Chain A
Amino acid sequence: MLLRHTHTDIKERKALTVNPAKTCQPIGAMYAALGIHGCLPHSHGSQGCCAYHRSTLTRHYREPVMAATSSFTEGSSVFGGQANLIQAIDNIFTTYDPDIIAVHTTCLSETIGDDVQQISDKAGKDGKIPDGKFVIHASTPSYVGSHVTGFSNMTKAMVMQFARSSGTPNGKYNIIPGFVEPSDMTEIKRVVRAMGIDPILFPDTSNVLNGPQTGRYKMFPDGGVTREELESAGDSAGTIALGPLASADAARALDTSLKVPCQIQDLPIGLSATDRFIDSLRKAAGVSVPDSITRERGQLLDIITDMHQYFYGRKVALAGDPDHLIPLVEFLVSLDMIPVHIVTGTPGKNFEKRILEITRDLPCKVNVKVGGDMFLLHQWIKNEPVDLLIANTYGKYMARDDDIPFVRYGFPILDRVGHSYFPTVCYTGGIRLLEKILDAILERLDRDAPEEKFELVL
């Protein structure tokens, strides 16, 4: 009874978050910046921020995660962090020699009013930025939004600070994959290419945070979107942004400033959302869907058909990020499951509305909360039990306390492997997602079956 402190009496809490379902902006910015080739993320704040983000990312990906910090002291908090950042830029290029430094701010540097644009301009004028090297920056105060907002801000920053319009179309499409796993980024690229489209995918953490064991330590791994690709993003035929919260801002900014037309889509999680993604790719490229993709869709459909009786009427509780939860809940509803409790810590306007639309025809009331936390979710579960819980690793406390079948999904996953290698997006990713859900449900069925009903074939 780890969470013996959870009580069933639900009260509105205004001043307090208990067991959060989100974290702060800078970690999202750091993750996004790791998806640029040859880039060292830089945290403009106290040392602890950088250490915590690196630790959390390291635990999730089980890979070395590199980032530098401005190492604020009491002095810099009074007089501003300019001296620290300029010294940092100088030191980083001298010692670690990245191609790009991606600076993100923190609550501390934002509140004291550091102007990172002005500071990096000064660093440039002072000759601290070598030729052919770059400093980009995003404003990511921890007291606004969540880790998803930080990811969005850095993604927007990377493309807006590099993209140019040369007047010559490059024949490519920009794809913004959202805050997903490196494995998902690889899968999205594969599918886009299978549709006959040459993508510029950013950020791209594949081959950065799921690299092979080589016996060598590379500070800047092989993967990541290159600066040249980001520059060329202004010449693309269009942008498809996956996930409104994580990706739309970058896509819209490109549209407004460089006239690259954009469309905002849900993350391709599950059948219908992937259908929509494929459809927009089809229209964009003016091609018909290749047989290989149609076959993958058929396989996903086949598994649903084979196992549909096990989904019927099962209640699900979910915690996660809005961009994931919307298509995921839609997928669950299409499987005949009943998502009854849905919580995200990330603030946003449309989330509740969209979830209520998707679950409109369900035969019961659906609890949904933006700016909620895991504690609230647990309270809901105690008031109305569920058959399945889908959440990041922190869900394991609830799963244990209330003996709920549990599928780990989202960020962070600190106690299992696989997420960085096996995608859950598009049709084949949907198959893996179903496998995980079915494993959890069927394992429980086996465990609880009395001996005479313990079935060999399910």
Chain B
Amino acid sequence: METISVLKEREHQVFQKGKDDFDIACEKTSLAGSVSQRACVFCGSRVVLYPIADALHLIHGPIGCASYTWDIRGALSSGPELHRNSFSTDLSETDIIYGGEKKLESALLELIDKYDPKAAFAYSTCIVGIIGDDVESVCKSVESKTGIPVLPVHSEGFKGTKKDGYTAACEALFNLVDRGRTKRKLPQSINILGEFNIGGETWIIKDYYRRMGVRVVSVMTGDGRINDLKMARRASLNVVQCSGSMTHLAKKMEDAYGIPFIRVSYFGIEDTSDALYRVARFFNNNPDIMKRTEKLVRNQVRSIIPSLSEMKKDLVGKRAAIYVGGAFKAFSLIKALKHLGMEVVLAGSQTGSKEDYKVLREMCNPGTVILDDANPLELAKYIMEKDADLFIGGVKERPIAYKLGIGFCDHNHERKIPLAGFIGMENFAREVHQTVTSPIWQLVPRRASVLTPK
């Protein structure tokens, strides 16, 4: 393992700052045969739409796609929980031969009759794209029979990357938003885009806006409700987090309804404050909002600083490796880690764009490894070379970090505590502290050679 080589074709997706001329190749489909950490179009659509709790989510395909996405994302709902069930047309061989349209229609009708959802999403999987089911017209027919919006999600797995799945989800959302009848703008109002209420994060952010005096019309899609989405076109501003997933929708809403958008992050002190201030500045016709925002930020920061400083003492100088879905998340993480006195030695993403990687490069110290669409061998190699103390990633990365004997922090679907907002920064610091300072790492063979019984 110590002598692993990087695939020749991947040379341009791996860079070491300071050493190489920087022109990263990214936004490519993964090389066939790579042990990629990436997923598919369906996965992208599914994670974006999943948190809409009062909608029916029916997965049209063989059983796997529904099984693997049954309640895997900790997107909390304050009310209905229909989204936490798994509904599938469970296509079998005969359906592949004769088509699955009838099955889809009868499944939709039966479920809508039983659960009375506010809308239904019908997700296409790979096979549906191949056998040529006309999901669009089935949805139309069911819609006319039931009177609720029935939205096709064109998420055939092979039609691109996870990013294309976000786009397909945005199209479905726009379809829904566009059904809103009232156009009159609501004063001082926003939509929150790209916030999925993992561990209750949406609730934290909504509370900040409430205290600032800004009205949140809809959240896409954390703790989402269909009726809120139908009101979304009445907002004055779209505030977009997790820009990879939702910028497409924000652009469409800008074109269609003239709603401007800003890209923000609610992760870390700087980014959260910046997000709230920018929203406050947007509504500068009401100076009270800015005053309230200043007060809010001041109080919030003051309340978390003591515990952050305490934890920072143990974390100063520790080295972190980051491998996340979207590059935007990596920016926030780097800032937050710097705040804790930590150094980022590896930064990578599954779906970053060229511009993203430029920003990443500027943010990182010389020697930092930057990678696009990495495989586990590359990750392990650089983590060992850089002697990282912490790895931040998703489900497939966790056991690799643990096998190498370093701390791990999930910054993906499996996180259990909210990492957004000021309180989220404190939670993040605690989580990092908890894993990095664990006594277990002293027992790991690499560091414990002295202690290991011969």
Taking beta carbons and an 8 Å cutoff, which residues of A are in contact with B? 2-5, 7, 13-20, 22-27, 40, 42, 45-56, 58-59, 62-74, 76-77, 84-85, 87-92, 94-96, 106-108, 111-112, 141-144, 146, 211, 213-219, 345, 375, 394
The digit string for B2-42, where 1 denotes a CB below 8 A from any CB of A, is: 00111111000000000000000000011111111111111
CA gap between A56 and B375 in the complex, in Å? 18
CA gap between A2 and B67 in the complex, in Å? 17
Query: Is the beta-carbon distance between A71 and B36 smaller than 8 angstroms?
Result: yes
CA gap between A84 and B95 in the complex, in Å? 27
CA gap between A91 and B31 in the complex, in Å? 8
Nearest CB of chain A from residue B18's CB, rounded to whole Å: 26
The digit string for B73-88, where 1 denotes a CB below 8 A from any CB of A, is: 0000000011011111
Nearest CB of chain A from residue B255's CB, rounded to whole Å: 26
Nearest CB of chain B from residue A391's CB, rounded to whole Å: 13
- Nearest B residue to A106 via CB reads B126
- Nearest A residue to B87 via CB reads A18
Query: Is the beta-carbon distance between A49 and B64 smaller than 8 angstroms?
Result: yes
User: Which residues from A are CB-within-8-Å of B40?
Assistant: 46-49, 51
Interface residues on B, range: 35 or more
CA gap between A329 and B444 in the complex, in Å? 43
Query: Is the beta-carbon distance between B85 and A16 smaller than 8 angstroms?
Result: no
Name the contact of A71 in the complex, choosing from B29, B85, B111, B402 (C-beta under 8 A).
B29
Query: Is the beta-carbon distance between B30 and A20 smaller than 8 angstroms?
Result: no
Query: Is the beta-carbon distance between B127 and A23 smaller than 8 angstroms?
Result: no
Known: A85-B32, A143-B93. A215 touches B405 (CB 8 A): yes
Query: Is the beta-carbon distance between A16 and B110 smaller than 8 angstroms?
Result: yes
Check if B186 is an interface residue, CB within 8 A of chain A: no
Q: A48-B41, A108-B130 are in contact. List 9 more A-B contacts (CB 8 A).
A: A5-B81, A16-B88, A47-B30, A69-B33, A73-B158, A87-B32, A142-B61, A216-B445, A219-B376
User: Which residues from B are CB-within-8-Å of A142?
Assistant: 61-64, 127
Query: Is the beta-carbon distance between B126 and A19 smaller than 8 angstroms?
Result: no
Known: A46-B157, A72-B158, A73-B158. A84 touches B32 (CB 8 A): yes
Query: Is the beta-carbon distance between A49 and B157 smaller than 8 angstroms?
Result: yes
CA gap between A286 and B315 in the complex, in Å? 64
Query: Is the beta-carbon distance between A16 and B107 smaller than 8 angstroms?
Result: yes
CA gap between A219 and B379 in the complex, in Å? 12
Partner-binding segment picked from B196-204, B353-361, B391-399: B391-399
A-B contact pairs, 21 of them (CB 8 A): A2-B81, A5-B115, A7-B114, A18-B85, A24-B64, A24-B65, A27-B64, A48-B40, A51-B39, A69-B34, A107-B61, A107-B125, A107-B126, A107-B127, A111-B127, A142-B127, A143-B95, A146-B63, A216-B445, A217-B404, A345-B63
User: Which residues from A are CB-within-8-Å of B307?
Assistant: none
Name the contact of B126 in the complex, choosing from A20, A42, A92, A108 (C-beta under 8 A).
A108
- Nearest B residue to A55 via CB reads B395
Query: Is the beta-carbon distance between A59 and B395 smaller than 8 angstroms?
Result: yes
Nearest CB of chain B from residue A30's CB, rounded to whole Å: 11
CA gap between A56 and B65 in the complex, in Å? 12
Check if B43 is an interface residue, CB within 8 A of chain A: yes
User: Which residues from B are CB-within-8-Å of A112?
Assistant: 130
Query: Is the beta-carbon distance between A62 and B399 smaller than 8 angstroms?
Result: yes
The digit string for B97-119, where 1 denotes a CB below 8 A from any CB of A, is: 00000111011001100110000
CA gap between A242 and B12 in the complex, in Å? 49
Nearest CB of chain B from residue A91's CB, rounded to whole Å: 3
CA gap between A58 and B380 in the complex, in Å? 16
Q: Which of A49, A53, A77, A108 has the most CB of B within 10 A?
A: A49
Q: Which of A7, A47, A107 has the most CB of B within 10 A?
A: A47
Query: Is the beta-carbon distance between A216 and B63 smaller than 8 angstroms?
Result: no
Name the contact of B398 in the complex, choosing from A58, A66, A85 (C-beta under 8 A).
A58
Known: A73-B160, A90-B33. A52 touches B130 (CB 8 A): no
Query: Is the beta-carbon distance between A64 and B62 smaller than 8 angstroms?
Result: no
Nearest CB of chain A from residue B444's CB, rounded to whole Å: 5
Query: Is the beta-carbon distance between A111 and B32 smaller than 8 angstroms?
Result: no
Q: Which of B238-282 contact A (CB under 8 A)?
A: none
Name the contact of B158 in the complex, choosing from A20, A53, A74, A143 (C-beta under 8 A).
A74
CA gap between A7 and B85 in the complex, in Å? 14
Name the contact of B33 in the complex, choosing from A26, A45, A91, A218 (C-beta under 8 A).
A91
Query: Is the beta-carbon distance between B403 and A54 smaller than 8 angstroms?
Result: no
Check if B429 is an interface residue, CB within 8 A of chain A: no
Check if B308 is an interface residue, CB within 8 A of chain A: no
